[in-house]
A and B are shown apart, each in its own frame.
Chain A
């Protein structure tokens, strides 16, 4: 066991930091910081293109797809630095974390040739069409239908909470081709297909993030199906496990906590209460960081990820919560025009326990798989 970064890892982090210093615009920190906002989505294409040219977009991917087979630590260090900088990759972080790898694993050669290179060049945005109005945590109850027709499928239904849908080129869509968990399939759907309507949902979490997506008699050819009919549950589980510790939220949370404390100290307002709360919040960030590292380490050693991933996710939710609450209590001015960075962090932090699956579902998994408590009756 070793808690130090080795020379190569330190050098890689420095490379990423230098890249950020050179490639982020001077007014970056005051840009609208919704990862799905107009300005950030547009910028992400220039930025990811440059990242790709510098070999920093998909270093953890196989050589065949433009990577260099770097280990799990490399991609995580990269993710930490990006998220900590306000995620200049915008929605494209999903592409490199799980969409690309999922296509590599389940896609046909034609699908891979069509979709992976644009991801590796940093020029395309995807969205994830899983949740529906009636299917949130209970994803398996989704209703969007994919009915076979001449040459392909006809899609009908509605998705909701779809991030980045307003800018996305392609949707990674879950739809029903039969009944139950084995009656769900994944379709790769170009967002400019006739019959798709996207509506942005005004929200407290910033511009351009969440959307409704309507599918009205949308025709997709048979080769839009990813994997086999009925394989969606397996594919989605695989994708979600890559996403569970995908975002190193603790890194930005800790940075924002330090920023808030520095502001309080400057204003001579860092009293007892703030000292105690900030210390607890920092401990929670550190716990989340090390928990996440445990999962990265498992990946690096090729060990299958166990229920610790749920614990890592929950620890991250607690860290986000404590930092968010600290700012609300001690630096309320930040949310009233005082600090665009703390505001942007707040908007991201509040969804930590909801986006990519409710925290309570993780608690269910921890109770059953980690603690081995008896299951709830169904």
Chain B
């Protein structure tokens, strides 16, 4: 057990900090739902960041830290699946990746080159062209897309499917970690400056305690997500995804409540994180789905 960063991990996070500097805040004139980070994605590709999990000194744990860090940004791209799931696909599949679960619209589906198709217990992979997919308007703060027609797909063995499912859970949990942290930071800023009844809202104990509970949950989500990336254990992955979805459900509600009407606007950036979290809440069956996996792997 050692909870300090290795020098490689510190160096990587330092490099990422420099890389993301231009992407740290939402453009003032952006009033939309999905702030797509094409330039960010290009820089990550050029820096070969999508392959860090395969570098032995880095591995999935360091990739998870990168996913967490990048999820703080108001800009979004397919980062988590590329960094954490792609290394575990059988064969070489081009990124970006996206998941289509039981035919529903999914994040990044309209721009993905490889789709992970989940149908009940089955998982298959398909390379897609722009003609196979189309964007859909949505409330979620990811670019959402859906299949226009069924592409030719390769069905995975049960074992490979289980591995892919596990890493999707790890990816989801680590992405949620960064989103939750960024959302909380954004709310803390608001509560520190917004005054009512002659004092900052953040000085009211009713809100301080709610925020503190959110912070505790957030830290727990982070530890479980990092542990799952490090151990690659099925049970750890299920616990991480469950705790992420469960905590996000509560935190998203609380943060919006505490921001008042300001949190309803597209001018304030909060929705960029909370409406990403809302998209993650339903994945792989949501809390019910993760619970069944926990029961299967942890209470056997």
Contacts and interface: CB of A to CB of B under 8 A. Distances in A.
A363 B192 CA distance: 17
B280 interface: no
Given A276-B288, A293-B1, A376-B205, A282 B294 contact: yes
Contacts of A363: 208-209, 212-213
Given A3-B1, A73-B1, A367-B211, A287 B205 contact: no
A282 B296 CA distance: 13
A168 interface: no
Nearest to A2: B2
B99 interface: no
Given A276-B287, A294-B223, A367-B211, A315 B205 contact: no
A282 to B, nearest CB: 6
Interface in B212-241: 212-213, 215-217, 219-221, 223-224, 226-227, 230-231, 236, 238-240
Interface in B265-300: 287-288, 290-292, 294-295, 298-299
Interface in B109-147: none
B212 A367 contact: yes
Given A1-B230, A294-B223, A363-B209, A374 B242 contact: no
B9 interface: yes
B253 interface: no
Nearest to B64: A1
Contact of B205 (A6, A272, A301, A364): A364
A290 interface: yes
A297 B3 contact: yes
A298 B4 CA distance: 9
B52 to A, nearest CB: 14
B74 to A, nearest CB: 21
Interface string A174-190: 00000000000000000
Contacts of B294: 275, 278-279, 282-283
A344 interface: no
A286 interface: yes
Nearest to A73: B1
Interface size class of B (residues with CB under 8 A): 35 or more
A298 B192 CA distance: 29
Interface in A210-228: none
Interface size class of A (residues with CB under 8 A): 35 or more
A368 B215 CA distance: 12
B107 interface: no
Nearest to A77: B1
Interface in B1-58: 1-6, 9
Interface string A301-324: 100000010010011001000000
A222 B4 CA distance: 46
A106 B264 CA distance: 55
Given A279-B291, A290-B227, A1 B61 contact: yes
A364 B221 CA distance: 21
A3 B228 CA distance: 9
A146 interface: no
Contact of A9 (B1, B6, B9, B230): B1
A374 B198 CA distance: 13
B188 interface: yes
Contacts of A278: 291, 294-295, 299
B199 interface: yes
B212 to A, nearest CB: 4
A287 B288 contact: no
B246 interface: yes
Contacts of A362: 212
A115 B178 CA distance: 49
B1 A2 contact: yes
B200 interface: yes
B224 A318 contact: no
B183 to A, nearest CB: 13
A374 B239 contact: no
B299 A258 contact: yes
Contacts of A283: 220, 224, 239-240, 242-243, 246, 294
A202 to B, nearest CB: 32
A366 interface: yes
Contacts of A298: 3
11 contacts: A1-B3, A1-B6, A279-B239, A286-B239, A287-B221, A287-B224, A293-B1, A363-B212, A373-B188, A374-B200, A376-B208
The 7 closest A-B pairs by CB, nearest first: A287-B220, A290-B223, A279-B294, A367-B208, A279-B291, A373-B202, A366-B212
Given A2-B230, A376-B203, 6 more contacts: A258-B299, A278-B299, A291-B220, A311-B215, A367-B211, A374-B203
Interface of B: 1-6, 9, 61, 184, 188, 191-192, 199-200, 202-205, 208-209, 211-213, 215-217, 219-221, 223-224, 226-227, 230-231, 236, 238-240, 242-243, 246, 287-288, 290-292, 294-295, 298-299
